[in-house]
Amino acid sequence: MVAFVLFATIVYSLPRNRIVSQIDSDLAALATEVLTGSYQRAQDGRILFELPGEFNNLETASTFFMFISEDQETILIASANIQGFDGIFDPNGFSDEPVYNQVETAGTNLRVLTIPFAEEETGFDDTAIGYIQIARLVDSVEIFNRSLVIALFFGFAAAIGSLFVAVLLTPGSFKPLEDIANVARQITNADDLSRRVPDTGRTDEIGVLTRSINQTLERLERLFQTQQRLLADVSHELRTPLTTIRGNIDLMRRMGTGDPESMGIIQEEVDRMTRLVGDLLLLARAGAGGLPLAKAEVELDSLIFEVYRQAEIIGKGRVTVTLTAVDPVRVMGDTDRLKQLLLNLITNAIKYTPAGGSVSLSLSHTDDWAVVEVADTGIGIPPEDIPFIFDRFYRVDKARSRGLGGTGLGLSIVKWIATAHGGDVTVSSIVGEGTTFILSIPALKMEDASELETSELVSDETPTRSPFMTLSSPLRRLREESREE
């Protein structure tokens, strides 16, 4: 309201002052021109004037002038266009200095300039022998001023109305903010992250804020539940081996001698706890950003063969492990972490594949991506559990029973390593038929494979060998080693 009042004052006064100033300037210029004519007092006391030619018959409809005697009562000369005016334009304007006044005569508004004049010069002094009054109609200016005042009055009324409307609507508009504050206080006081801010379906900024806060609360609730489940799972995972160790120690104490079987069980449980603590430490350091990766160029195909050899040993006698296809691919990554990722995937596939089943491993180079596929013919994963299998300690019923061993952290580590290398892991599964994990990692742009392998494999001892005979891939080398064995 203060801003509007200041604006209205400026809008009203600035144009008005400019217009009046312009009129005064015109009147002063006209008076100067009129006074350039000669005038003097006659012997009989009359004042004789000789006006410029263009002022003898002033016919303009908006500007008038008159010469007034020194007694301020007698009009000596008046312009011919004065009609309907009785008397002097401005009876109060007589002074020793020029005076501007705005007067109303016969219902007409005039801006009048009164100037005293001397007998033999055009200057102003105490020997004035008369006065000249130059007047101009300012009715149009007054009409403009009145119209402007009316417009500003209606604008002021509209501003007042807007103020009252704002006062009425503001509480309702900001009530969602009060609800947000109340829910936040309730959550803080009750530690209840299941509460949500009421969503009215608004599409403005408050609606966006409400939905954002609800999403934040949902994420916080999920993280809090994950933390609680993590604590419970860690406690359970540690309690089971500790109970086993304690039972075997009590048995050996009662027997009075060490039992090799009990010692073996204790060793297994200690190893299991060591792996659990190691995996937890790894994930904790990774989540805190304290686990840097020693990235370098890695020949992923060679790494695949190393993992394949170990997988054959793990699944020997129970599950058949096959290497279906391997493309030469190089990636930028940490060799140890990538090997850990691949071992976790292949070990997980072997573990949940029944005896007599098979696990296949392949590597392909597709659209600047290195794609590793691990497929098994195991028991599969229910669709409702697939979104959660990368969560820590998440176990699917039957398929993730603790009788199969493991800590429940392997797939969480797989997910973190893939993400840290700019890649991702996806899974598809059919219950009773098997599961397929697909790892995608950005591949480096390699040189022409023929030139690369030729430069690596062709030696001075075999100068006559055909390049096609020397382009042996890791898969070919592995097959040759198998035949030799």
Residue 30 within a domain: yes
Q: 335 or 108: which carries more pLDDT confidence?
A: 335
Beta-strand relationship, 358-366 and 320-326: parallel
Contact 218, 264 (CB under 8 A): no
| CATH code of 131's domain | 3.30.450
Q: What is the torsional sign of CA 449, 481, 311, 379?
A: positive
pLDDT reading at 22 higher than 70: yes
Among residues 287, 318, 338, the one where a domain terminates is: 287
Q: Are residues 57 and 137 in the same domain?
A: yes
Distance CA 265, CA 234 (A): 20
Please identify which residue in the block is written with the tokens 């994420």.
Answer: 219
466 lies in some domain: no
How many domains are contained in the chain? 3
What distance in Å separates the CA atoms of residue 319 and residue 102, rounded to the nearest whole number?
113
Identify whether residues 8 and 136 lie together within a single domain.
yes
pLDDT of 479 above 50: no
pLDDT greater than 70 at residue 478: no
Q: Which of 130, 145, 160 is the last residue of a domain?
A: 145
pLDDT digits (tens, 9 = 90+) for 170-210: 777 777 788 888 888 887 777 777 888 777 777 888 888 88
The pLDDT of 354-361, averaged and rounded, is 91
* Residue-level pLDDT at 190: 72
Is the pLDDT at 467 greater than 50, yes or no?
no
Which tens digits make up the pLDDT trace of 221-241? 887 777 777 666 666 667 777
Is 8 part of a structural domain of the chain? Answer: yes
Please tell me whether residues 338 and 273 are part of one structural domain: no
Question: In the listed set 260, 287, 314, which residue is the last one of a domain according to the structure?
Answer: 287
Q: Judge whether 403 lies within some domain.
A: yes
Residue 38: band (very low, low, confident or very high) from pLDDT cuts 50, 70, 90 = low
Q: What is the extent of the structural domain holding 274?
A: 205-287
**300, 283: one domain:** no
Highest mean pLDDT among 73-82, 259-268, 313-322: 313-322
Residues 309 and 380 in one domain: yes
Instruction: Supply the pLDDT for residue 464.
Output: 33
pLDDT at 456: 43
The answer to whether residue 465 is domain-embedded is: no
Using a pLDDT cut of 70, give the percent of the chain over it: 74
Please report the pLDDT score of residue 441 as a whole number. 92
Mean pLDDT on 154-182 = 80
Per-residue pLDDT band for 84 (boundaries 50, 70, 90) equals: low
Question: Which pLDDT band, with edges at 50, 70 and 90, does 79 fall under?
Answer: confident
pLDDT for 261 beyond 80: no
More confident residue, 373 or 138: 373
Query: In terms of domains, do 32 and 111 share one?
Result: yes
Question: Does one domain contain both 436 and 320?
Answer: yes
Determine the residue type at 140.
Answer: S
**Domain match, 274 and 382 both:** no
In angstroms, rounded to a whole number, what is the distance separating the alpha carbons of residues 152 and 132?
38
**CA end-to-end distance (rounded Å), the chain:** 96
Q: Per residue in 280-307, pLDDT tens?
A: 676 666 665 556 778 889 999 999 999 9
Predicted local confidence at residue 473, as pLDDT = 44
Task: Report pLDDT for 459.
Answer: 37
In the block, which residue shows the tokens 């900024």?
Answer: 205
Inform me whether the pLDDT recorded for 466 exceeds 60: no
Mean pLDDT of all residues in 31-46: 63
Residue 129, burial from CB neighbour count under 10 angstroms (0-12, 13-18, 19+) = middle
pLDDT at 50 (0 to 100): 59
331-346 pLDDT per residue, tens: 999 888 899 899 989 9
> What pLDDT sits at residue 123?
46
Domain co-membership, 79 together with 136:
yes
Contact (CB, 8 A) for 72 and 131: yes
**CATH classification at residue 249:** 1.10.287.130
> Span 401-424, mean pLDDT?
76
Alpha-carbon distance of 148 to 141, in angstroms, equals 10
When pLDDT is cut at 50, 70 and 90, the band that residue 462 belongs to is: very low
Find where tokens 């016919």 sit.
Answer: 59
The answer to whether residue 449 scores a pLDDT higher than 50 is no
- The more confidently predicted of residues 475 and 409 is 409
**pLDDT at residue 263 greater than cutoff 90:** no
For residues 8 and 132, state if they share a domain. yes
The helix or strand, by DSSP H or E, that contains position 477, with its residue range, turns out to be helix 474-484
Residue 441: closest CA among 424, 420, 426: 424
When the pLDDT of each residue in the chain is averaged and rounded to a whole number, the result is 76
With cut-offs at 50, 70 and 90, classify the pLDDT of residue 472: very low
Is 475 a member of any domain?
A: no
Same domain, 276 and 312: no
Q: What is the pLDDT of residues 52-73, one digit of tens each?
A: 555 554 555 578 888 888 888 8
Residue 211 lies in a domain: yes
Closest CA to 173 of 198, 149, 146, 205: 205
Q: 125 pLDDT exceeds 90? A: no
**Whether residue 126 has pLDDT greater than 70:** no
Are 130 and 69 spatial neighbours (Cβ–Cβ below 8 Å)?
yes
- Please report the pLDDT score of residue 230 as a whole number: 67
Domain with residue 404: its CATH number is 3.30.565.10
158 belongs to a structural domain:
no
In this structure, the answer to whether residues 384 and 430 fall within a common structural domain is yes
Residue 460 has pLDDT above 60, yes or no: no
